[in-house]
A and B are shown apart, each in its own frame.
Chain A
Amino acid sequence: MKVHIRYFASLRESVGRAGEEIEFAGDQLSVSGLREHLAAHGVDVLGQTATLRAAVNQVMAGPETAVGDGDEVAFFPPVTGG
């Protein structure tokens, strides 16, 4: 399956890019599983930052939220708007 990854704000700067496309074997994964996979495959900061948030298909997600083929998954720091 293919997943579109996006990074925002300080995380985007730490990772050094705004996003990437990742291909996996299998057809489903959780947000935390995806995060662990990315951390183990070069995106070290995802394993080092405790306070990250995530969204799946532009809706706030938790660690157990399912990620499927074609989904857009974003990782970002806690929001600071307003």
Chain B
Amino acid sequence: MRVSVQTGDFDAGRECARLLEGRSDVGAVASFIGVVRGDGGVETMTLEHYPGMTENALEAIVDEACSRWPAVVGVRVIHRVGELRVGEQIVFVGVAGGHRGEAFAACEFIMDYLKTRAPFWKKEQTAAGSRWVEARDSDDAAAARW
């Protein structure tokens, strides 16, 4: 299983260990964890997704990463949805490869694509009320397609 969208938390150490299980060709595992930041009085964040499309979009991003970096031998993406508190983990990307170059690059590529192409939406809750997070990069690929 390469992609999961779930309400529950994840154990990054265990996910990295799984990328190594039974393999002798891995020389590097790069990982990224996104966390709910408490900027501007944010207390909780609610993540909405498009069931079905979100998982397919993540699979397509992983496929693209694997074709751009053929030396990548394992990828794991976990994205949480529902209500999350400040400090909670939102997203995990782990990439195993022969060497660090492709592992770092593919990990960053997956996050950059995930942020512009996977259908997730964040709503922040503060003491004053709630607000939808606005997309920051108006020049992203999705904009060009639309």
Contacts and interface: CB of A to CB of B under 8 A. Distances in A.
- Note whether A and B form a binding pair: yes
Interface of A: 6, 8-10, 51-55, 58-63, 74, 76-82
Given A9-B132, A54-B146, A82-B79, 7 more contacts: A55-B119, A59-B56, A60-B117, A79-B135, A81-B118, A81-B122, A82-B120
B121 A82 contact: no
Contact of A8 (B50, B133, B142): B50
A79 B53 contact: no
Leading 3 A-B pairs by shortest Cβ distance? A81-B120, A78-B135, A9-B121
Interface residues of B, number: 33
Interface in B89-127: 90-91, 111, 114-123
Contact of A62 (B118, B121, B146): B146
Interface of B: 34, 47-50, 52-53, 56-57, 79, 90-91, 111, 114-123, 132-135, 138, 140, 142-143, 145-146
17 contacts: A8-B48, A8-B121, A10-B132, A52-B146, A53-B142, A55-B53, A61-B145, A62-B145, A74-B50, A74-B53, A78-B135, A78-B138, A79-B116, A79-B120, A80-B133, A80-B134, A82-B120
Contacts of B133: 80
A50 to B, nearest CB: 10
A77 B138 CA distance: 12
A53 B121 CA distance: 12
A41 to B, nearest CB: 22
A63 B142 CA distance: 12
